Amino acid sequence: MPFRAISRSNISFGLVSIPVEVFPAITSKSVHFNLLHAEDNSRIREEIYCIAEDRRIERSELVHGFQIQKGKYVTFTNEELKKLESGANQEIGIMQFIPISEVDPVYFASAYLLGCGSRSAKAYHLLRTAMIKSQRAALAKFVMRGKEHLVLIRPYRDVLMLHTMHYADEIRSSREVDSGKRTSIETSELKLAERLISDLSKDKFEADKFEDTYREHILKVAKQKAGGQEIIAPAAPQRGKVIDLMSALKDSLKTREKKGRSRATEDKTAHNHRSRESRVARSGGSGDGRSHRRIHS
């Protein structure tokens, strides 16, 4: 099925207005469970209950309450909130163009794909190409789902991608967390740590190399249970406490080197096997190449 737009808007800056369609960029593949009654595996139903009146109420009786002081609320109906949202500017209004490297990833929240709207293909493509050439992303404001978002627009493959962002006052200060910066480190410790990082380093992020092994395990176990198999949970891995940092770093490097040697041996064995098969193929026989040459001498 084709993507279905969740919203339509316009990217605007200066006197330019480019119609766009907003699509979710992420498809959640998390494992979802339903809560069941253990006695008969039947689905349960959650009910809305009014404590003051001691009775169950319908969803239509609800309003949204904003607490202005303890126990005191200002209320809004769904209709009032919809009017407030419809009265806001629905355009994606660009305020600045900035280098994307200047934005810390902690600010990113959700991602959306922006498709070009009706009769906007040329303007859309022009904006995307200009952003690529200038190596800039756009900071904008956008009202979506009852909230005004700070958003960042950037080129992504053949399209533009929109990231909703957290505001600065939503990011907790790192000063609230102990960083251990007063702890001294030895030069030898730093060199070992740098070497371990170097051994584990890659020059490119290959997203398709990583899989959700927990989800796959859950699906496998669910299939086994459906088939009546008894499931034995694996023992949790035991992790010892790191007492000597230098020893831990050295042991990590030794493990990496051992794996590297093992992989190199496997590669060499496979190479020798392929070479032997190649020699046999060239000699025209399926056995020992030397025997074959003696027969024809």
Q: Residue 81: which of 142, 8, 145, 165 has the closest Cα?
A: 145
Spatial neighbors of 165 by CB under 8 A, at least 6 apart, are 103, 107, 108, 109, 149, 150, 151, 152
Alpha-carbon Rg for the chain in angstroms:
30
Are 23 and 159 in the same domain? yes
Write down which residue in 149, 170, 191 finishes a domain. Answer: 170
Same domain? For 253 and 164 the reply is no
Residue 23, pLDDT score: 94
SS3 51: coil
The total of other beta-carbon atoms located within 10 Å of residue 8's CB is: 13
CATH of the domain at 106: 2.40.290.10
Q: Is residue 111 part of a domain?
A: yes
Residues 150, 11, single domain; the answer is: yes
Range of the domain at 98: 7-32+77-170
Please give the pLDDT value at position 84. Answer: 77
Low-confidence ranges of the chain (pLDDT < 50): 1, 286-297
User: What is the per-residue pLDDT for 31?
Assistant: 85
Do 254 and 111 lie in a common domain?
Answer: no
Do 157 and 253 fall into the same domain?
no
23 and 128, same domain (yes or no): yes
153's tokens? 């627009």
Distance CA(281)–CA(287), nearest Å, equals 9
Final residue belonging to a domain, choices 170, 190, 215: 170
The neighbour count for residue 31, using CB atoms within 10 Å, is: 12
Is 263 domain-assigned? yes
**Considering the domain boundaries, does residue 14 fall inside one?**
yes
The tokens for 239 are 């992790």
In a domain, 238, yes or no: no
Number of domains in the chain: 2
pLDDT of residue 287: 46
pLDDT in tens, 85-121: 765 667 899 999 999 999 999 999 999 999 998 889 9
Do residues 14 and 132 both lie within one domain? yes
Domain end, chosen from 130, 149, 170, is at 170
**Shared-domain flag, residues 127 and 20:** yes
Please, are residues 146 and 86 in contact by the beta-carbon 8 Å criterion? no
Flag whether the pTM goes above 0.75: no
